[in-house]
Amino acid sequence: MVCQPGAPAQRAATDCASSGMECRRLRQDGMRYHAGIGHTTSGTRRSHYWNYMLIITIKQGKEKSLLGQSWIYASAIEKVEGKPQEKMKPGSTAIVQSSAKQFIARAAYNSKSQIRARIWSFKEDEPVDHALIKRRVKAAIEKKLPAIKKAGENQLLTLIKGEDEGLPGLVVQLFGGVQGYLICEFNAGGVDAWKVAIVQSLMASTGCVNVYERCDDLMRKGEGLPLIDGALAGEEPPDEVMLTDNGVRYALNLKTGHKSKFR
């Protein structure tokens, strides 16, 4: 199945239906996407956990295997507690705890994925909110600023590679410098749920006003996410661009990621 672009209203309706998020349309600065509400956590005391998120309990003896890992598979999970609707949302924020009820991490939970949870943070005092998303995006972009400033109109830069930047499942490329296009793939439930905050932070950090969502069919199917693509802000990229890589020029479809013959 190939991702089908749709009208902005159709894209918003699809996103909302799939995630269960309350949403509203944004129409400012050329943005064409919806805002998700209700993903902010508050506090770290257990009395607060039930109000805001799911609780994932890890099987006894499996805790050490999670240290330094970004993914949690179903085989490591004893149980998941929380509201049924939250369990069904791809990317719902969850507290991960040991069998002794000790805090391990905050993660994005997805019952539809073989990777049941992707770690956001191992810090108990670091909530998953807009501030965290902004920090992670800003930090990732700052590392690439020298390359961004030097980027030519036919260059493609990879700015964010998922777990490397603490944004599991997110891939962001920039074509043509700040006057060009940001190409984003939201390949996991967590970053898909925070799409609006991510796009806003990317635009603010790079100065690029054109943002396009590219769909990786295989990845999104595996996450139980709708297969959608299209402009999230500004203009859509052309169907084909000429890319220069190590002195070699070839044609690239930014919307699909497919390269054509060398020219």
Contacts of 13 (CB under 8 A, 6+ apart): none
Q: Is it true that domain 8-38+129-262 has CATH number 3.30.750.80? A: yes
Could you name the CATH architecture of 46-121?
Roll (2.30)
Upper half-sphere CA count for residue 58 (Cβ side, 13 Å): 26
pLDDT at position 243: 83
Contacts of 172 (CB under 8 A, 6+ apart): 140, 158, 159, 160, 182, 183, 184, 185, 202
pLDDT at position 178: 92
Answer yes or no: is pLDDT of 106 > 60.
yes
pLDDT at position 263: 52
Q: What confidence tens digit (pLDDT) does each residue in 146-158 have?
A: 999 988 888 899 9
> Which pair of tokens denotes residue 257?
């990621």
**At 88, phi and psi to the nearest 5?**
-85, -20
> Over pLDDT 70: what percentage of the chain?
79
pLDDT at position 25: 27
Per-domain residue ranges of the chain: 8-38+129-262, 46-121
Q: What confidence tens digit (pLDDT) does each residue in 174-213 have?
A: 999 999 999 999 999 999 999 999 999 999 999 999 999 9
Task: Please give the mean pLDDT across all residues of the chain.
Answer: 82
